[in-house]
Amino acid sequence: MSWAQNPQRFFRGRWHAIVIVALSTIGFTAQNPLGLVARNQAVAATPKPPMGWSSDLALDECSRLNDDQFIEAADLLEQSGLKEAGYRTLVYECGWEGGSEPDGTPTYYRSVFPNGPQEHAGYLKWRGFNLGVGSWLGPQICVRTGQGWATPKVKDPRDLQQWIKTVAGWGVSYLIHRPCDMATPEMLQDPGWSSDVDSRYIKVQEAIRAVGVQDKLFYATGQWGSSPLAQQKAANSWRISDQSLVQWDSFIRTSNGLVPFAH
C-alpha cells in the first residue's frame, strides 16, 4: 500500500519522527545552557584595590611641588572619566614631608599643603577623591648610587605611633612605605638585607594596629616587583613591576607584569 492510499499512516509516522526530533532538540537546548551555567559560575565580585594616580615620576622635581599640581591631576582624572571608573586615590609619594616634631608628629611643606593636609584631604573628599602619601619612615636601606641623584637623609620618626595617628587624623587613607628604594631580587633574597626591610615593614604594621586605624589606612609596600612570591602572598598589596613612566614601552611592561595574576 502506497502512502497515497493510506495518507494517515504516513503522516502518523512522520509526526512521530518530528516529535522525537523536537523532544531531542528541546532536551539538548534545555540541558546545555544549564550545564554551562553550572560549570561556569560567575566569580563573585570582590573589592577593588585602591586605584588612582601617583606623583612619583609623574612630577620631575619632588623638591619643587605645590598644591596646584595635585589639583590639576585630580581635574584630569575627572575630565578623562577615570574617576568614574574607580581611579579616585591621589598619592603624594614625595616632596610633601619635611621631617617630624620632637613628639613624632610629621611636618609638611606649605607649598604642598598651604592650608594644611587635613583641609586638603577634606577638599579631595568633597570632590570624591582620597588622599594618599608616601614615606620612607626612616633612613633609606637601599641607597641609590651612580644615578646622578643623591638619596636624602631621613631620620626615624621619634614616635612612629604618633606619626601614624597624625597622618590618619589628617584624613589620609593610603600609605605607601618604601624603605628599600631601589630593590633587586638578589638584595631582597639576601638574609641580611631582607631582614632589615622586613623589620621596617613589621614596625609600621604594628604601629598602625596599635593606633587602631588598620580599617581606615590602607598600608601598601613597594619593592618594584622584586618581592619573592611567598612574601607577596602574605601582603594585601604589592607592586608587580617598576614604576610606570610616561612611555608606551613602560605601559606595556607593566601590563605584561599583570598577566600572571589576571588568569
pLDDT on residue 170: 97
Strand 51-54, strand 87-92: pairing: parallel
Residue 46 pLDDT more than 50? yes
Residue 180 pLDDT more than 90? no
Average pLDDT over residues 106-126: 94
pLDDT on residue 253: 81
pLDDT on residue 155: 77
Residue 53 pLDDT more than 70? yes
The helix (run of H) or strand (run of E) holding residue 88 is: strand 87-92
Check the CA dihedral 65-67-72-75 and report its sign: positive
Domain boundaries, the chain: 1-46, 51-261
pLDDT on residue 125: 97
In this structure, are residues 102 and 108 in contact, taking their beta carbons and an 8 Å threshold? no
Cell of 55: 606623583
Average pLDDT over residues 37-65: 70
Average pLDDT over residues 131-155: 76
pLDDT on residue 246: 75
Terminus-to-terminus CA distance in the chain, angstroms? 66
Strands (E) located in 93-190: 97-100, 106-108, 130-135, 172-177
Collect all residues with Cβ–Cβ distance below 8 Å to 9 and sequence separation of at least 6.
1, 3
pLDDT on residue 199: 84
| Coil, helix or strand at residue 233 | helix
Residue 214 pLDDT more than 80? yes
3-state helix, strand, coil in the chain (%, to 5): 45, 15, 45
Is the pTM higher than 0.85? The answer reads no
* Domain 51-261 CATH (choose: 3.30.70.260, 3.20.20.140, 3.20.20.70, 3.40.50.12780): 3.20.20.70
Q: Lowest-confidence range among 116-130, 157-171, 190-204? A: 190-204
Average pLDDT over residues 12-20: 40
Residue with cell 637601599: 142
